[in-house]
């Protein structure tokens, strides 16, 4: 990443910017790229907490195939509060802290949700108002396409692995790349065969809106070098040198936005930033808009520090209330799920397996293959590029009982929300709306609720794609600038346990397939002798598959939402949220492709608004200056 133009001090910045973007991550840099391209005469500043240098992610080659990277310098590493519903266990969630954000450190699994996810998102976002911006599948699919250049794999890889795709799901030319890796582990086909034996169909393409079955997923890598493709490269390094209107300052934390006279109509607000180098606080002036793109764990903290959030929480944090908006940080969701594991009693006679990564000569050869042009070998695989995605009706005949249980919760939805939110009727209404939408999604035979990603091995994670439980992200009361407090509240809606158990019972059927039984597969987790599956779920549940979301949800204010379909924060001037926080509910996918699509669509909305003269007028001449230390 060329860093000649990188700013490291506020004194290097201009006196004001048209647009200030908080967070140089997946969505934030997408917007920055599009705005600087569309408006050569308008200036854009991105303020990023992390550094620009390359730092390895958890799944990054060539340090390791999976895990074991030394040091998490490029991550925020956040523990969760103990979770009473799962025996007070705690979880851990990571988020990118680097130019490129989580796209620079993630597992590179590059899938999109189902059309039904996006239609549900639209329904929740608009509550039936036809005049609102369209976020349904037809409204977002063009942006999924635009956001990536997909390159089909070479014929040799297609022949070896059986890759399929439908080119009509792609078509973009932006320098964010995806393709299929030329490598799979020796037991990969075995696992595919076992899933097929269970009756899972294998569609040609899963990124075109219809996501149901055994999917081949592209990885977000360059198609020749198989180096990671991320927003820091595609939306900053690839374009910045030719754009004099595009500034990026690193190692600065956006503290809050400040409205003159504490009046939220007095926007766009100033942006208060803190240097992580010398601790200095400064205010930066935006004459157009402030765009919050700090991700689902940090965007709500910027809003809360700004006095925009649940009023009872802001009072307890001693923060003056600018706008009471109880949804800020309150609709917290993540993908979670228990594990099924087995052993083979017959030796697995396939090559290679990941155990080879402890063999120095295999690693030397793998590294050299990865450094060849074109790259080959295990490091091109990244995390994995296969998964099954199945609906609840495909996994259990009792799906309607689960859907009915959800519907019965509509009489008292607040029972399942944190008590601190019971005094907000809008939040309760919004959750009720979500439950009714989710009950119908759970009955849909083509909307996946279960994902099991795989590449190799003897364990399978049964990921619940549409949890009903809702957690919170709140400022740390002892230090508002430190990492936020995450209360996952996994399983606080008890129907989630019914879903985990249904999924788990389905996934353990894999072990009894003729394919795996031919190898003498024996279940070791949860274990055939285990009868209390709820306890088994509690024991092995992973709280986070690194897809935190939904903490500044796109829903009407009367339903506890934080932003409208134009991404503007309700009730305040000159601030939008553009990142994965704006989802009302999780999609049936990992979240980076969606974060790019949100960035692309948001940019279009903003560009149209400013071109049409609907954007805010010129600023009020507020200068850049020092402010208090925190």
Ligand X SMILES: Cc1cc2nc3c(=O)[nH]c(=O)nc-3n(C[C@H](O)[C@H](O)[C@H](O)COP(=O)(O)OP(=O)(O)OC[C@H]3O[C@@H](n4cnc5c(N)ncnc54)[C@H](O)[C@@H]3O)c2cc1C
Point out the annotated binding site: 26-27, 254
**One of 13, 34, 50, 289 touching ligand X (CB under 6 A):** 50
Within residues 532-561, the interface with ligand X by CB under 6 A covers 546-547
In 3D space, the residue among 298, 180, 247, 252 whose CA is nearest the CA of residue 580 turns out to be 298
Nearer to ligand X, 300 or 413 (CB): 300
Establish whether 503 is a catalytic residue.
no
Q: Residue 498: helix, strand or coil by DSSP?
A: helix
* C-beta nearest to ligand X: residue: 25
Gyration radius (Cα) of the chain, Å: 24
Which residues neighbour 233 within 8 Å (Cβ) at sequence distance 6 or greater? 1, 100, 175
Helix (H) or strand (E) holding 116: helix 115-126
What is the nearest approach in angstroms of ligand X to the Cβ of residue 29?
8
Q: How far apart are CA 466 and CA 432, in angstroms?
A: 15
**One of 139, 208, 295, 467 touching ligand X (CB under 6 A):** 295
Nearer to ligand X, 77 or 316 (CB): 77
Catalytic member of 222, 298, 547, 570: 547
Is residue 49 near ligand X by the rule CB under 6 A?
yes
Catalytic member of 122, 161, 222, 590: 590
Within residues 301-330, the interface with ligand X by CB under 6 A covers 302
Q: Which stretch binds ligand X (CB under 6 A): 65-73, 102-110, 412-420, 561-569?
A: 102-110
In 3D space, the residue among 576, 581, 548 whose CA is nearest the CA of residue 75 turns out to be 548
Tell me the HSE value of 427 on the side-chain side, using a 13 A CA sphere: 28
Is residue 91 near ligand X by the rule CB under 6 A?
no
Q: How far apart are CA 285 and CA 269, in angstroms?
A: 8
Q: How far apart are CA 503 and CA 398, in angstroms?
A: 11
What is the nearest approach in angstroms of ligand X to the Cβ of residue 344?
27
What is the nearest approach in angstroms of ligand X to the Cβ of residue 47?
5
Is residue 333 near ligand X by the rule CB under 6 A?
no
Establish whether 547 is a catalytic residue.
yes
Nearer to ligand X, 114 or 293 (CB): 293
DSSP state of 581: G
Token digits of residue 417 = 């929300």
Peptide bond preceding 336 in cis form (omega within 30 of 0):
no
Q: How far apart are CA 416 and CA 180, in angstroms?
A: 42
- Judge contact between 329 and 306, C-beta under 8 A: no
Is residue 109 near ligand X by the rule CB under 6 A?
yes
What is the nearest approach in angstroms of ligand X to the Cβ of residue 553?
13
Q: How many residues bind ligand X (CB under 6 A)?
A: 43
End-to-end CA distance of the chain: 32
Q: Which stretch binds ligand X (CB under 6 A): 11-19, 259-267, 430-438, 592-600?
A: 592-600
Nearer to ligand X, 35 or 406 (CB): 35
- Judge contact between 481 and 253, C-beta under 8 A: yes
In 3D space, the residue among 487, 476, 441 whose CA is nearest the CA of residue 331 turns out to be 487
- Judge contact between 254 and 302, C-beta under 8 A: yes
Site mask for ligand X (CB under 6 A), range 3-42, x = bound: -------------------xxxxxxx--------------
Nearer to ligand X, 28 or 153 (CB): 28
Dihedral sign of CA atoms 78, 596, 256, 20 in order: positive
Rounded-to-10 torsion of CA 532, 387, 379, 48: -90
Is residue 504 near ligand X by the rule CB under 6 A?
no
Is residue 94 near ligand X by the rule CB under 6 A?
yes
Burial class (CB in 10 A: 0-12, 13-18, 19+), 498: buried
Nearer to ligand X, 313 or 596 (CB): 596
Bridge partners of residue 51, in order along the sequence: 98
What is the nearest approach in angstroms of ligand X to the Cβ of residue 314?
18
Is residue 484 near ligand X by the rule CB under 6 A?
no
- At residue 99, φ and ψ (nearest 5 deg) are -60, 120
Nearer to ligand X, 231 or 472 (CB): 231
Token digits of residue 473 = 């992200």
**One of 60, 496, 579, 600 touching ligand X (CB under 6 A):** 579
Site mask for ligand X (CB under 6 A), range 219-258, x = bound: ----------------------------------xx----
Q: How far apart are CA 204 and CA 212, in angstroms?
A: 10
Binding residue numbers for FAD: 26-27, 254
What is the nearest approach in angstroms of ligand X to the Cβ of residue 104?
8
**One of 249, 580, 583, 603 touching ligand X (CB under 6 A):** 580
Q: Which stretch binds ligand X (CB under 6 A): 290-298, 465-473, 496-504, 608-616?
A: 290-298
**One of 86, 206, 237, 294 touching ligand X (CB under 6 A):** 294
Nearer to ligand X, 27 or 126 (CB): 27
Is residue 339 near ligand X by the rule CB under 6 A?
no
In 3D space, the residue among 102, 57, 93 whose CA is nearest the CA of residue 542 turns out to be 93
Nearer to ligand X, 402 or 575 (CB): 575
Is residue 270 near ligand X by the rule CB under 6 A?
no
Token digits of residue 427 = 């939040």
**One of 1, 10, 19, 48 touching ligand X (CB under 6 A):** 48
Listing from the earlier edge strand, what are the strands of the sheet with 339-344?
459-461, 339-344, 521-525
The residues of the shown chain that bind ligand X, judged by CB under 6 A, are 22-28, 47-50, 58, 94-98, 101-103, 105-110, 253-254, 293-295, 298, 302, 383, 546-547, 579-580, 590-593, 595
Residues serving a catalytic function are: 547, 590
């Amino acid at each position: 990443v060329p860093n000649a133009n990188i700013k490291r001090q506020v004194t290097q910045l201009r006196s004001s910017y048209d647009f200030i973007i908080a967070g140089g991550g997946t969505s934030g840099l997408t917007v920055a790229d599009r705005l600087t391209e569309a408006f050569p005469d308008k200036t854009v500043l991105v303020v990023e907490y992390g550094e620009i240098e390359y730092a390895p992610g958890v799944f990054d080659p060539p340090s390791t195939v999976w895990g074991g990277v030394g040091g998490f310098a490029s991550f925020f590493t956040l523990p969760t509060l103990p979770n009473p519903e799962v025996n007070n266990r705690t979880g851990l969630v990571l988020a990118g802290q680097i130019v490129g954000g989580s796209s620079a450190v993630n597992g590179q699994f590059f899938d999109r949700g189902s059309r039904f996810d996006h239609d549900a998102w639209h329904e929740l976002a608009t509550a039936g108002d036809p005049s609102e911006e369209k976020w349904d599948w037809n409204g977002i699919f063009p942006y999924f396409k635009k956001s990536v250049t997909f390159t089909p794999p070479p014929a040799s890889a297609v022949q070896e692995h059986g890759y399929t795709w439908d080119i009509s799901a792609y078509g973009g030319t932006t320098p964010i790349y995806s393709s299929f890796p030329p490598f799979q582990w020796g037991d990969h086909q075995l696992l595919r065969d076992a899933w097929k034996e269970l009756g899972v169909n294998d569609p040609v393409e899963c990124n075109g809106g219809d996501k149901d079955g055994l999917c081949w997923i592209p990885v977000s890598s360059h198609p020749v070098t198989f180096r990671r493709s991320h927003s820091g490269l595609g939306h900053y390094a690839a374009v910045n040198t030719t754009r004099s209107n595009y500034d990026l300052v690193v190692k600065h934390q956006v503290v809050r936005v400040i409205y003159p006279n504490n009046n939220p109509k007095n926007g766009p607000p100033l942006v208060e930033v803190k240097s992580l180098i010398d601790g200095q606080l400064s205010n930066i002036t935006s004459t157009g808009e402030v765009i919050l793109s700090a991700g689902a764990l940090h965007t709500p903290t910027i809003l809360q520090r700004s006095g925009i959030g649940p009023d009872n929480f802001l009072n307890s944090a001693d923060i003056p209330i600018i706008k009471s908006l109880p949804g800020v940080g309150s609709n917290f969701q993540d993908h979670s799920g228990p594990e099924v594991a087995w052993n083979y009693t017959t030796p697995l006679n396939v090559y290679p397996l990941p155990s080879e990564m402890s063999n120095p000569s295999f690693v030397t050869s793998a590294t050299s293959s990865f450094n060849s042009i074109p790259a080959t070998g295990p490091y091109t695989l990244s995390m994995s590029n296969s998964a099954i995605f199945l609906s609840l009706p495909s996994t259990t005949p009792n799906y309607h009982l689960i859907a009915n249980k959800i519907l019965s919760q509509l009489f008292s939805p607040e029972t399942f929300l944190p008590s601190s939110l019971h005094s907000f009727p809008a939040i309760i209404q919004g959750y009720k709306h979500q439950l009714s939408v989710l009950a119908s999604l759970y009955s849909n035979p083509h909307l996946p609720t279960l994902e099991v990603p795989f590449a190799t091995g003897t364990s399978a994670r049964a990921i619940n794609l549409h949890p009903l439980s809702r957690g919170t992200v709140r400022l740390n009361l002892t230090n508002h600038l430190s990492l936020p407090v995450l209360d996952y509240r996994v399983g606080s809606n008890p129907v989630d346990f019914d879903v985990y158990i249904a999924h788990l019972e389905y996934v353990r059927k894999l072990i009894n397939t003729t394919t795996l039984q031919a190898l003498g597969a024996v279940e070791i987790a949860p274990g055939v002798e285990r009868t209390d599956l709820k306890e088994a779920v509690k024991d092995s549940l992973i709280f986070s598959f690194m897809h935190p979301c939904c903490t500044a949800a796109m829903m009407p204010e009367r339903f506890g939402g934080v932003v409208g379909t134009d991404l503007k924060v309700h009730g305040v001037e000159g601030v939008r949220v553009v990142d994965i926080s704006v989802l009302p509910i999780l999609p049936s996918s990992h979240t980076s492709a969606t974060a790019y699509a949100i960035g692309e669509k948001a940019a279009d909305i903003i560009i149209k608004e400013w071109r049409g003269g609907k954007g805010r007028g010129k600023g009020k001449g507020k200068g850049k200056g020092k402010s208090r230390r925190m």
